[in-house]
């Protein structure tokens, strides 16, 4: 056996005897001249490590700059009512206005009767003068002429009550010289007085005049005494003026 064959054996014995002896890889003589081995399979992933320690709190930094304005959003749904906003503060009380004019409803009314008949029947074609005034607060009726003169435009009602005695009677309700209505009572030889009444609505404007006039000379039976009267009356039903006021 040659020395080359005995060297591995002696090396093996020395390792057994003194295991603390270490031999570096590059000092071990090659025992064979074979090809490199096949690489081993990759090892598996290791287990996750322990969480790291919490970092220290950072210092407060200055506020960042304001970002750019975003794009306009899409329109909301049609017909959907939004939430009601907060109630605003009461406004400042305005100045007090000027006092308005006091509205007074216009008035016009009269009533008059014949005086006792002593001078014969009223003449034909003239206004019958009802001389004894019963009511004429506004002075729109003139007992001297027997005519009513309109001062307030509107609709009026005129009424006549005549006592007829020992004659027929026919009279007309006149407006500005035109006959508006006619009334007639025939005398039938009655021993006592009879009556004839009539009335009509007329629309008047200021300065219009209304009166009673005898129609025919033979029908002139107007009568008045202490026991019976003949009267002429009229009053305003409603005015044409929207803003009523006091009129003379």
CATH code at 146?
2.60.120.40
Residue 80 lies in a domain: no
Reported pTM: 0.56
> Is 8 within a domain?
no
**Residue 74 within any structural domain of the chain:** no
Is residue 156 within 8 A of residue 234, CB to CB? The reply is yes
- pLDDT bin (cut points 50, 70, 90) of residue 108 is very high
Give me the mean pLDDT over the 53-77 stretch: 76
Domain assignment of residue 61, yes or no:
no
pLDDT at residue 112 in the model: 96
Give the pLDDT of residue 57: 72
Give domain status of residue 55, yes or no.
Answer: no
The fraction of the chain above a pLDDT of 70, given in percent, is: 77
Q: Residue 169 is part of which domain span?
A: 109-239
Mean residue pLDDT across the chain: 79
Quickly list DSSP for 198-220: EEEEEEE-TT-EEEEEE--TT-E
pLDDT of residue 243: 47
Query: Two tokens at 160?
Result: 């006549």
Provide mean pLDDT across the span 107-113: 96
Given a cut of 70, is residue 3 above it in pLDDT?
no
In a domain, 17, yes or no: no
pLDDT (average), residues 151-157: 97
Q: How far is CA 13 from CA 5, 7, 29, in A?
A: 14, 10, 17
pLDDT of residue 50 exceeding 90: no
Q: What is the pLDDT of residues 178-223, one digit of tens each?
A: 999 999 888 777 778 788 889 999 999 999 999 999 877 777 777 7
Residue 2 has pLDDT above 70, yes or no: no
Domain count, the chain: 1
Whether 1 is in a domain gets the answer no
Radius of gyration of the chain (CA): 67
Q: Is residue 221 part of a domain?
A: yes
Higher pLDDT residue, 32 or 84? 84
pLDDT score recorded for residue 242: 64
Q: Identify the sign of the CA torsion 10, 11, 15, 18.
A: positive
């Amino acid at each position: 056996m040659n020395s080359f064959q005995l060297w591995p054996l002696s090396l093996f014995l020395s390792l057994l005897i003194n295991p603390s002896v270490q031999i570096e890889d590059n000092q071990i003589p090659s025992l064979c001249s074979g090809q490199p081995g096949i690489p081993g399979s990759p090892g598996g992933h290791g287990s996750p490590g322990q969480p790291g320690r919490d970092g220290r709190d950072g210092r407060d930094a200055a506020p960042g700059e304001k970002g750019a304005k975003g794009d306009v959003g899409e329109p909301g749904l049609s017909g959907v009512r939004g939430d009601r906003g907060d109630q605003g503060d009461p406004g400042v009380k305005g100045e007090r206005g000027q006092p308005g004019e006091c509205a007074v409803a216009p008035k016009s009314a009269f009533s008059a009767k014949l005086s006792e008949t002593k001078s014969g029947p009223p003449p034909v074609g003239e206004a019958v003068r009802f001389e004894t005034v019963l009511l004429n607060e506004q002075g729109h009726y003139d007992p001297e002429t027997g005519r009513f003169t309109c001062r307030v435009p509107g609709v009026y009602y005129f009424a006549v009550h005549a006592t007829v005695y020992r004659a027929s009677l026919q009279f007309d309700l006149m407006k500005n010289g035109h006959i508006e209505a006619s009334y007639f009572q025939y005398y039938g030889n009655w021993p006592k007085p009879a009556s004839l009444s009539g009335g009509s609505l007329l629309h008047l404007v200021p300065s219009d005049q209304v009166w009673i006039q005898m129609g025919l000379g033979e029908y002139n039976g107007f009568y008045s005494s202490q026991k019976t009267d003949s009267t002429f009356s009229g009053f305003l039903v409603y005015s044409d003026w929207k803003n009523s006021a006091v009129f003379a």
